């Protein structure tokens, strides 16, 4: 009897960028999972010709859970609103990108797919299409009617989650409330247990201010917000260290036993992670009722169609998704 494989849906992202290129490269990979590419088949055919790749495109059949054969891609077909010129964005195709995302997340909710891996999108193009869009994380939360999600990036030896995501720096302090911070930590701890199989996760928590506030001399957020929340959750049994100064937290002495770091804002933790693992890092959305991972890079319009785009981050995202759906 044939084995029924797990199934991941891959969204191809911005059509003018490297997303389609990376999806085509997957035809050369041999993975113990069925990969389904959500994209316009004509776009993929056009890009394959540009890249001189011989790839057979086969329409996805939900009844068949076998991996694609070598040189073949399974495609869930969508149609661009207008023909795509490689490297040149077109707001007319902004809705196409969102339609693919909606299909993927609904398919995961319905059990058609076991998880989703998202290619890079161009936020400005989607906004120029007249659709307010701040990022994958927020969009997927809305689509799944999830009250709160947490953005986490991971690479070998380091996971960094964020207490706030895409906010101006001037708004960060006000956004970190006792309730919001507690909710973020609960989601992070729960998904480290349930989606990563870590029984008692250790989380290092950054302070918001330089030197973690230096006893109130450099800000009161640690004393008034962060420490009370950490103390409360420690009493429930969570293994939380901090708040720690972000400028010294990211060193081997602290990280050796840690399962994740919680940074207070986007540019506090992610520059370190991207320096350590850019190109081999993955973006993971915690708190969703589905598994979602993503590449850690942008659309790279200048590399589209050149054959120079590296698939490493996409392969890492697939690998993490496979780990998470097997737990």
**Is 266 within any annotated ligand binding site?**
yes
Contacts of 300 (CB under 8 A, 6+ apart): 17, 18, 120, 309
Residue 274 labeled ligand binder:
yes
Q: Does the annotation place 280 within a ligand binding site?
A: no
3-state secondary structure the chain: CCCCCCEEEEECCCCCCCHHHHHHHHHHCCCCCEEEEEECHHHHHHHHHHHCCCCEEEECCCCCCCCCCCCEEEEEECCCCCCCECCECCHHHHHHHHHHHHHHHHHHHCCCCCEEEECCCCHHHHHHCCCCCCCHHHHHHHHCCCCCCEEEEEECCEEEEECCCCCCHHHHHHHCCHHHHHHHHHHHHHHHHHCCCCCCCEEEEECCCHHHHHHHCCCCHHHHHHHHHHHHHHHCCCEEEEEECHHHHCCHHHHCCCCEEEECCHHHHHHHHHHHHCCCCEEEEECCCCCEEEECCCCCHHHCCCCCCCCHHHHHHHHHHHHHHHC
Q: Does residue 211 have a known ligand-binding role?
A: yes
Residue 136 is assigned to a ligand binding site: yes
Binding-site residues for a divalent metal cation, in ranges, read: 166, 211, 266
Binding-site residues for substrate, in ranges, read: 136-137, 274, 283, 292
Binding-site residues, in ranges, read: 136-137, 166, 211, 266, 274, 283, 292
């Amino acid at each position: 009897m044939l084995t029924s494989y797990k199934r991941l849906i891959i969204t191809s992202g911005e059509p003018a960028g490297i997303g389609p290129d990376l999806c085509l490269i997957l035809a050369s990979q041999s993975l113990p999972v069925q990969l389904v590419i959500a994209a316009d088949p004509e776009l993929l055919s056009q890009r394959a010709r540009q890249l001189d790749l011989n790839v057979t495109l086969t329409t996805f059949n939900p009844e068949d859970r076998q991996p694609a054969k070598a040189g073949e891609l399974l495609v869930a077909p969508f149609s661009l609103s207008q023909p795509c010129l490689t490297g040149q964005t077109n707001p007319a195709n902004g809705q196409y990108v969102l339609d693919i995302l909606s299909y993927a997340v609904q398919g995961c909710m319905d059990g058609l797919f076991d998880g989703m891996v998202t290619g890079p999108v161009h936020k400005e193009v989607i906004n120029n299409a007249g659709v307010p869009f701040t990022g994958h994380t927020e969009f997927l939360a809305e689509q799944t009617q999830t009250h709160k999600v947490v953005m986490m990036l991971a690479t070998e030896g380091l996971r960094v989650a964020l207490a706030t995501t895409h906010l101006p720096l001037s708004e960060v302090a006000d956004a970190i409330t006792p309730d919001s911070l507690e909710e973020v930590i609960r989601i992070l701890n729960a998904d480290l247990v349930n989606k990563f199989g870590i029984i008692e996760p250790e989380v290092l928590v950054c302070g918001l201010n330089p030197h973690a506030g230096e006893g109130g001399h450099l800000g009161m957020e640690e004393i008034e917000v962060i420490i009370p929340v950490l103390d409360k959750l420690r009493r429930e049994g969570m293994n939380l260290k901090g708040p720690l100064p972000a400028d010294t937290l990211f060193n081997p002495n602290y990280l050796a036993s840690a399962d994740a770091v919680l940074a207070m804002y986007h540019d506090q933790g992610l520059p370190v992670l991207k320096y350590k693992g850019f190109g081999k890092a993955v973006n993971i959305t915690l708190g969703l009722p589905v598994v979602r991972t993503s590449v850690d890079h942008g659309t790279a319009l200048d590399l589209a169609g050149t054959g120079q785009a590296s698939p490493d981050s996409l392969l890492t995202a697939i690998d993490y998704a496979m780990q998470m759906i097997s737990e």
